[in-house]
Amino acid sequence: MKIAIGNDHVGYELKCEIVKYLKENNYEVTDVGHYDSNRTDYPLYAKMVSDLVVKGEVDRGILICGTGVGISIAANKVKGIRAVCCSEPYSAKLSKEHNNTNVLAFGARVIGVELAKMITDSWLNAEYEGGRHGKRIDMIKDIENSQFK
Ligand code: RB5
C-alpha cells in the first residue's frame, strides 16, 4: 500500500516516527514535508497529500499538525477527500469501514507516538464495508458536487 504523509512544523517530529513505523511495516511512503520544525502553514501539506490521493498516485494519506484539526479541515476542502481527525483507534477503524475515509489526521499536541501508531494501524487495517454506507457516501458526494464547480 502506498501512503502519502504530510505535516506542519508542530507535526514534524511525530511525522518522522510514523514514517519510520510505516516503512518498518513495508508501506511505501511519500513524504511531502514539512521537513523540519520551522514555522510553516498546514494547508500546504493538506493540499499536497490530498492531491496525491485523489489522483490515485497513493492509496491513502496521513496528515499531522498540532491538533489534526486545521490540516483535516483543509484536506476536506479537496474534492474527493474524506478526512478524519482521530485521537483514538475506534473512530479511525469505523471511519474507514463506514465512511471510507481516505485521509487520516491526528494532532502531535494531542496524542503520543504509541497511540498514533495504534490509530494508524487500526485505520490502515480496516476496510470499507460498502452496503448501506454507500448511499450515505453518495449523499456526501452530492453535497460536494453542488459546492465545487
Ligand atoms: C500551529 O500553531 C497550529 O495551529 C497547527 O499545528 C494546528 O494545530 C492547526 O489546527
Q: Which neighbouring-strand residues pair with 60?
A: 3
Distance 13 CA to ligand 1 centre (A): 14
Sorted by where each starts, the structural domains of the chain and their CATH numbers stand as: 2-144 (3.40.1400.10)
Distance 51 CA to ligand 1 centre (A): 21
Show the ligand 1 pocket: residues with CB < 6 angstroms.
8, 10, 42, 65-67, 69-70
**Tell me: the pLDDT tens digits for 47-85?**
999 999 999 999 999 999 999 999 999 999 999 999 999
DSSP for 61-82? Answer: EEEEESSSHHHHHHHTTSTT--
Global pTM reads: 0.97
- Ligand 1: which residue has its CA nearest to atom 5? 66
